[in-house]
Structure 1
Amino acid sequence: MVHGRESEDQNQYIRKDKELVLAQLRKLKAQRTQARELSQENLVKLTLESNATLKALRKIVDKGEKILKLAEICRKFETEEEKVLPFYSSVLTPEEQKEIEDMHPEELTEELAKVIVNYTGMENFWKRYNKVKLEQLSLQHRHGQLLEINGKLRAMLRRYLDGISVSDEVLSQLNPLFIVNHRSNLPQPLSAPTTQPGDRPPPTTYNITEAAHVISHTL
Structure 2
Amino acid sequence: MPKKAKKGGGGGKTEEERLLYLQQRAQAEEEMAKKKEEILTLFLKDKLQKEEKNTAVNLLKLNEGWRSILRQTRAAELRKDITVLSQTFERQLDGLNNVIKNLERDLQEAERQSAQVRRVHLQHLERLWAQQDKRLMVLQQQWEDALHHLSSRFRSERKQMLAHSQQQRADLEDATFTVEQQHKEVMNEIHRLYSESIASYQSTHEDRVASLGMEDKVGLKAKALQNQETLQLRKNDSEKLDELVLRNQRYIKMTEEVTKTIKELQDAISQQKVKLKSSNIEKESLEQDLKAARNEGNKRTHKLRDQLTQRHSAARKQLVDLTVQSNSAAKKLQAVIAKGERVLRVAEMCRKLEGEQENVLTPSLVVDNQRSEREELTKEIPEFPELHQVTRRINAALLHREALKKQRDDLSRENRQLRLLLRQHLDAMTVSDHTLDGPHALLAVYQAPTTTAPSDAGRRHTVIEAVHAVKQSL
Q: Which TM-score band (shorter chain)?
A: 0.3 to 0.5
Question: Using CA pairs below 8 Å that are at least 6 residues apart, which structure has the higher relative contact order?
Answer: 2
The structure that has the greater radius of gyration is 2
TM-score, normalised by the number of residues in structure 1:
0.38
